[in-house]
Amino acid sequence: MNSPSIRPRRPFTREQRTTVIYGMLAFILILVILQLWLFTATMNAYLGGDEAVIWPAAVASLLCLGLNAGLLRYLYHIERVRR
Amino acid sequence: MSDWQEQDDQSSALVDARVDSPQREGLTGTTPADAYAPARDPELITRPPDGRPLHYQPQWRKDFPIDWPQDHYIARRDFAKFLCLTSLAFTVGQFWIGVQNIWRRRRGAPPVAKIGSLSELPVGGTLTFRYPGPHDDCILIRPSQDKLLAYSQKCTHLSCAVIPNVEKGVIRCPCHEGLFDLNTGENIAGPPPRPLPKIILTVRGDDIYATGVEWRTV
């Protein structure tokens, strides 16, 4: 009998992967728009001489990048599992 | 027999013996074997010209698929990658602002510089000067006998040169009809997002000196 640990993972079908990528795109788009807003607001503050928001905004933008990179990594992962 | 054919034959022979395993649906009861099986796996639609499985195909064939469903998937996957690259660019830009801010701090306070004299500036008149750097155009305005005002001449929208109108009490940007209050430098109409930077002035005798710049967000 095969044990559950060696049971082959069922790969996503192409339709499932397309659904997954639509969900991913929705998240990534929201995060990128948030980063765009952060960037314009920070630039406005910097040009106006307000330094208080610069580094917190940079950290928030880095977090958004981390989330996006994680989602992209998952995308590569499901393509690898498919083989 | 080629390697890929052998591997495919071996993988088809490895069927999980459990009832709910992916390749055994419907095989254990009285229900016909195809009752629970999907009508047709969409993955099987793609058949490359040489007939080999997809994972034996060259990368270029995977990136430029010949059927629409796979092409839709690849297009959205590449768009997601592009958006992640955009996200990286925004993050780099965000840190670049921080670095610029450090450099601005290190430059220190702007120097004190003589920009004109009271005798050469009549009431209602204006004078242009450069402060604190040679490329920072500014305007000096004398709206009344005892009052002097100075602002950066660059519009806070897109850096067009602004023009003071002392009679109307406004400073106008001719590029996109932005208006600033003459007495405060605040943005009162049009697209400018911030007030004009204010130049701090000191009068010593007949001479007018600029001693600093006041940047403002509101």
Nearest CA in chain A to B100: A46
**Tell me, what's the pLDDT at B32?**
52
Q: Do B100 and A55 touch (CB under 8 A)?
A: no
| Confidence label for B34 from pLDDT (cuts 50, 70 and 90) | low
What pLDDT tens digit does each residue of chain A (83 aa) get? 445 555 556 677 777 888 899 999 999 999 999 999 999 999 999 999 999 999 999 999 999 999 999 999 998 888 776 54
Q: Do A28 and B14 touch (CB under 8 A)?
A: no
For the stretch B49-105, pLDDT in tens is: 888 877 788 888 888 888 888 888 899 999 999 999 999 999 999 999 999 999 999
ipTM of the modeled complex: 0.86
Computed over every residue of chain A, the mean pLDDT equals 86
For the stretch B172-190, pLDDT in tens is: 999 999 999 999 999 999 9
Q: Do B97 and A46 touch (CB under 8 A)?
A: yes
Taking one residue from A and the other from B, the number of pairs with CB-CB distance under 8 angstroms is 117
Residue that has been written with the tokens 């195809």 in this structure: B34
Residues 6+ apart with CB under 8 A from A82: A11, A12, A17
Residue that has been written with the tokens 């702007």 in this structure: B110
Residues 6+ apart with CB under 8 A from B181: B169, B170, B171, B188
Q: How far is B121 from chain A (nearest CA, A)?
A: 29
Q: For chain B, what is the largest distance between any 2 Cα atoms, rounded to a whole number of angstroms? A: 109
Q: Taking the CA atoms of chain A, what radius of gyration do you get in angstroms?
A: 19
Nearest CA in chain A to B67: A14
**CA-CA distance, A42 to A50, in Å (whole number)?**
9
pTM of the model: 0.74
Closest in A45, A50, A61 to B91, CB measured? A61
Mean pLDDT throughout B209-218? 90
**Tell me, what's the pLDDT at A65?**
97
B23 to chain A, any CB pair closer than 8 A? The answer is no
